[in-house]
Chain A
Amino acid sequence: MRKLFSGLNQIAAGLGIALSVAAAPAIATDLTFFYPVAVGGPVTKIVDDMAAAFEKEHPGIRIKPVYSGSYQDTITKVLTANKGGDAPHVSVLLSTDMYTLIDEDAIVPFDELARSDEDRAWMQGFFPGFMKNSQTGGKTWGIPFQRSTVVMYWNKDLFKAAGLDPERPPQNWQELVDYGRKLTQRDASGKVTTWGVQVPSSGFPYWLFQTFTTQAGVELMNAAGTQTYFDKPEVIEALQYWVDLSRKHGVHPQGVVEWGTTPKDFFERKAAIIYTTTGNLTNIRNNAGFDFGVAMLPAGKQRGTPTGGGNFHIFKRATAEEREAAMKFVKWMTAPQRAAEWAIATGYVAVSPAAWETETMKKYVADFPAPTVARDQLQYAVAELSTHENQRVTKALNDGLQAALTGTKTPAQAMQDAQREAERILRAYR
């Protein structure tokens, strides 16, 4: 049945092309493109320029970028517009919104739009780590565009002061604790002046937590987004490690650590090692008044990090002709050369191996090798936590994590409660 429909779709799309070819000189195809950024920043300018360059190469297509604020604003706007029948044609949205978009019947899989071998090769061209949040049920619903991972930043001066090799970051969980002990500084009264390591836990602690669970060798959810594994022993063990960093080893601040102030804590030398997004590289490069390093996260049983960031999605309500144009646009935007330029301009991780092979990128990392850390870590990357009713399931986990970190629940108790809540929410989707 599904196959038949997709066949029909292809025929319809083919007809659309025939029509569009016939009508090409008369009408241009207008595409509304929602892009999640607050207007006015430098990124807006880059996107505008890219859209203009695309239009120049594709005279029949006009791109109308709409800068729709944060990711949260954008998904809200998209869902509202979708209900009202005026969704955008194409949008960049969090890769974790995939199930929500599918449940709302808002997007089409790229498989239906890819007809030539070239199209299919293009879809294969991205880092597999980034495709994990882009595919479900054997279909590809999103194309990676601005993606990130968690990495570790360390202050080389503080390493030297603690008698550590400033060029060698901790490699595994045990070393992180050992280094942390050496790096944590207390004044005469016993008050901590520098923490060894800091992993933020406000807002979206689940993302940081996924570094530990992946390193513990466990996934938090199934590929269909209908089942979570919050109460698996490895998950509890991972949480125990995070909690122990502060409560047992005393190398990490107690309670919930604010995401927003973590880079500042790093600049102020209040934390010698921080976990944060690759997207902070430019900020830290500009504001750290000391020599710093960027490294892969320390390994537990293995290395690991979740990916993050946004994918391209094409919307269902678009006509066959518009979908065709949108597909061209997405392909153009994610082509190796553009992906490289985009990564350099914004600090996101370039999404395909081919992008790293471009001259532009090679030249860039020759001077500033830090971005390659994120690329090399991708082979250990897993999908960011994403399920049906994503916000709600995520909140259940976030609440459990914060309860354990503030000491109101044991890690086991917190994760069992979170799992029970997730079960209750997801039951309807199985």
Chain B
Amino acid sequence: MTAHPLGNGGRLAAIHGWLLLLPAAVLLAAFTHYPAVATFWHSLFTTPRGNRPARFIGADHYRDMLADPIFWTALQNNLVFAAGTILPSIALAMAMALWVNARIAGRGLLRLAYFTPTVLPMIAVANIWLFFYTPDYGLFDQVRGLFGLPAVNWLGSGDTALGAVIVVTVWKEAGFFMIFYLAALQQIPPELGEAAQLEGASRWQRFWRVTFPLLMPTTLFVLINATINAFRLVDHLFVMTRGGPDNATSLLLYYIYEVGFKFWDQGYAAALTMVLLSLLATVALLKFFWLERKVHYQ
């Protein structure tokens, strides 16, 4: 490695380095680091209202939270939502990429079909999904009707609403993840597959022994993204269910929005945000200590 003309660790280099970093650092600190810390601080205060200023109440918001059934419902829903979106969207993304990467009829069009959900705004397509799920004359019930099946109130029943919302999320995400698998697949030297073929491995064996392990880094990366998204994607709830029926589709971030911007109880919303932050921090730590060790990428 050639020495940098400004000198490794020289003072001029240090000043230049910090100056280059400064603009991004200021914004990151202001809108990521500061709010993360301030969330905790503000969760210890009441929300100021009218003439009443904020008052320090310690852990009261957290105590309320433990007694708040909607919080527990939203948390539980969010875990189900995560489980229901992460694996299916990854599996589908992988299948899509394999298909689109192989010589399949209409490959270009297919790739386009898989990818379109990524460019459509969720808030708008949610209205279309609302039609698909409408009882009786909605798309799904019309199709079910062909087989003589009864109408289902998909979004209006506590049993099916969360599942319906999960399907929309998987639809939205899978095509985006596909692109990463596609990029990864194109990096796999074909000789590897050919070598396995010569050894007489079946297609299925080749996938599990050669392709799948080689896709592992991509899978882990997509896994993390899908996990973050599971706590971040709530746009469709605004149109499709508003968290109902009876909170059956309420997710943490949606509940935070309701508490913070409909009830204007920003103190309690801060406490709820802390839960979300802890969940994300856990994911980050898992990634750092466990996954990162398995996948070296640098």
Contact = CB atoms under 8 A, between A and B. Distances in A.
Question: A and B touching (C-beta < 8 Å)?
Answer: yes
Interface residues of A, number: 40
A270 B51 contact: no
A148 interface: no
Interface string A117-155: 000000000000000000000000000000000000000
A414 to B, nearest CB: 8
B137 A399 contact: no
Contact of A103 (B50, B242, B261): B50
A274 B46 CA distance: 43
Contacts of B148: 189, 191
B121 interface: no
Nearest to B137: A268
A400 B70 CA distance: 12
A399 B50 CA distance: 28
Interface residues of B, number: 31
Interface in A159-196: 189-193
A76 interface: yes
A256 B155 contact: yes
A258 B130 contact: yes
A407 B158 CA distance: 9
A253 B137 CA distance: 13
A111 interface: no
A392 interface: yes
Interface string A65-96: 00000001000100100000000000000000
A255 B242 contact: no
Interface in B126-170: 130, 134-137, 145, 148, 150-151, 153, 155-158
Given A104-B50, A270-B137, A399-B70, A255 B157 contact: yes
Interface of A, secondary structure class, is loop
A256 B133 CA distance: 13
Interface stretch (B33-41, B93-101, B192-200, B244-252): B244-252
A429 to B, nearest CB: 11
A394 to B, nearest CB: 10
A79 B50 CA distance: 10
Contacts of B70: 399
Interface string B222-263: 000000000000000000011011111000000000100111
Given A192-B151, A255-B157, A256-B157, A398 B263 contact: no
Contacts of B134: 258, 261, 264
Interface string A257-294: 11011001100101000000000000000000000000
Nearest to B265: A392
A277 to B, nearest CB: 18
A406 B156 contact: yes
A256 B258 contact: no
B264 interface: yes
B156 A104 contact: no
Nearest to A399: B246
Contacts of A72: 262
B130 A406 contact: no
Contacts of B135: 253
Contacts of A398: 244
A203 interface: yes
A151 B211 CA distance: 63
Interface in A240-260: 253-258, 260
A270 B261 contact: no
A402 B151 contact: no
B136 A402 contact: no
Nearest to B261: A76
A192 B137 CA distance: 12
Interface string B255-286: 00010011111000000000000000000000
A406 B154 CA distance: 11
A256 B153 contact: yes
Contacts of A222: none
A299 interface: no
Contacts of B296: none
Q: Residue among B155, B247, B264 with the most chain A CB within 10 A? A: B264
Given A189-B148, A258-B155, A391-B262, A202 B244 contact: yes
A409 B241 CA distance: 19
Contacts of A408: 158, 246
Contacts of A104: 49-50
A261 B130 contact: yes
30 contacts: A79-B264, A104-B50, A105-B51, A189-B148, A189-B150, A191-B148, A202-B244, A202-B245, A203-B244, A253-B156, A254-B153, A255-B158, A255-B245, A256-B155, A256-B244, A257-B156, A258-B134, A392-B263, A392-B265, A395-B258, A395-B263, A398-B244, A399-B70, A399-B246, A403-B158, A403-B245, A406-B157, A406-B158, A408-B246, A409-B246
User: Closest 10 A-B residue pairs measured CB to CB?
Assistant: A256-B156, A255-B156, A402-B245, A255-B153, A402-B246, A403-B246, A256-B245, A255-B157, A105-B50, A406-B158
Interface of A: 72, 76, 79, 103-105, 189-193, 201-203, 253-258, 260-261, 264-265, 268, 270, 389, 391-392, 395, 398-400, 402-403, 405-409
